[in-house]
Amino acid sequence: MEFANGRSIGELMKEHNIELATLDPATRGGFTQIPNFILRDASLSLGAKVTYSLFLSFFWNNNAIFPGQNRLAEDMGMSTSRANEYVKELEAAGLIEITRRGQGKTNLYKVNYVVKEGWVRKARKS
């Protein structure tokens, strides 16, 4: 995702002018925002919503999307094959795009931060 002058949010966040003065590990670890239209989409499984959140977290906090399938599964506390089911669900929903680069190479992932028709209305009802 590109912002000012074609720079990613990860680059922009590195140029901070404020310090968070706390030893609280939950706060120091950062936060990830997820759009309400994703949280309230009944057609997405809970696992797919968590997976989407982790994609955003990897991107916003590490300036990289998806460090690996094993890492995703580990962060979710489940098997790699189960985590991959959620990745496939997000791909089928059009929320991510996967570019396969061949055997032995990592896939490239694009998070589609898009609103589908009707999703905004769902989010506003609450």
What is the distance between the terminal CA atoms of the chain, rounded to a whole angstrom? 28
Q: 68-98 b/e with 16+ CB inside 10 Å = b?
A: eeeebbeebebeeeebeebbebbeebebbee
Taking 90 as the threshold, does the pLDDT of residue 40 lie above it? no
Domain boundaries, the chain: 33-124
Domain covering 33-124 in this structure, CATH number: 1.10.10.10
Lowest mean pLDDT among 43-52, 64-73, 75-84, 111-120: 111-120
Position with higher pLDDT, 108 vs 16: 108
- The rounded distance, in Å, linking the Cα atoms of 110 and 55 is 9
Global pTM exceeds 0.85: no
Q: How large is the average pLDDT for residues 30-44?
A: 85
Radius of gyration of the chain (CA): 16
Count of residues making up the chain: 126
